[in-house]
Structure formats: structure tokens, C-alpha cells
Amino acid sequence: MNDCVFCRIVAGEAPAAKVYEDDALCAFLDIRPIARGHTLVIPKRHAAELEDLDAELGARIFRAGHRLALAIRRSRLAADGANLVLNDGRAAFQTVPHVHLHVIPRRHGDTLRFAKGFLLRRPHDPVATAAAIRDGIAALDNKGASPEKENEG
């Protein structure tokens, strides 16, 4: 899909601060984040909406989102929690027609900051933020929580 910005990111034709990639998925920072570390997890194969997505690939997307939420907690970003959100279709406020899971870091007492971030949607040092998340992923790997072990359970 040449007109899909997410497909262009996967193909390396559009810039993105990638934090994770495997044979089927790509995760990168949202260019209009609600909070620092707001990450999108997408399938590499184009699927406009959930109806176009294989159920197993959908499960892989959520497993990756789960892992990224844990990594963000263990990273320098030190989130206290996360919202995992998937907007399916225009009626659900999906703005890019390519399935994507939002992993949005949260902190205790951040309601006002979260609301402000939702309205303003401004980047937060994407290079350092992506590096912090990758460090969080490495911390998970060092604790024995490799993707292969998670997929076995």
C-alpha cells in the first residue's frame, strides 16, 4: 500500500522512531503522543481494520503491546501503568487506516497531564524515548522474559 504511511514506515520509506520489530510486527513512537513513550504496534502486512486482520496476528499484536507496557515500566520512563487501545474503524476514531495498537504509558495522578497530552499531542524527545523503551525491552530479556518464552505459555 503506497498511500499508507504505516506501510511506508515498515518499508523504510518514511521515518519512525522504532522500538521493536520482528518478522510480522513493527512498533514505533506515535508522532503525536498523548504521553511520553506512546507507542504504536502494527502488523507489517497491511490490514485496514480488524475485519482484515487474521486473529492470530491480532493476538501477536496484543502480546507485543503487553510486552511493551512492561518494558516501559522497567525503562527510564518508569510508567506506573498503561492504556492499550485499538480504535477499529472511523466510527471508533481510527485516523490511520492500518490496524494499530496504542500503548500509552500512565502515571499515578496524571489525569490532567493525560488530558492535556490528549489535546496537544506533542513529541517528547523521540530518540531518547525510543532508546529508553528499547532498554526496557532489554531489561525484560535479561530477566528471562524473551519473546520465545512468552509465546510458549
Catalytically annotated residues: 100
- Distance in angstroms (rounded) separating the CA atoms of residues 109 and 35: 13
Residue 117 CA neighbour count, 13 Å, CB half: 20
Quote helix, strand, coil % in the chain, to nearest 5. 40, 15, 40
The closest of 142, 147, 145, 110 to 27, measured between CA atoms, is 147
Q: Say if CB 36 and CB 136 are below 8 A apart.
A: no
In the chain, beta strands by DSSP E: 18-21, 25-29, 39-43, 81-85, 101-106
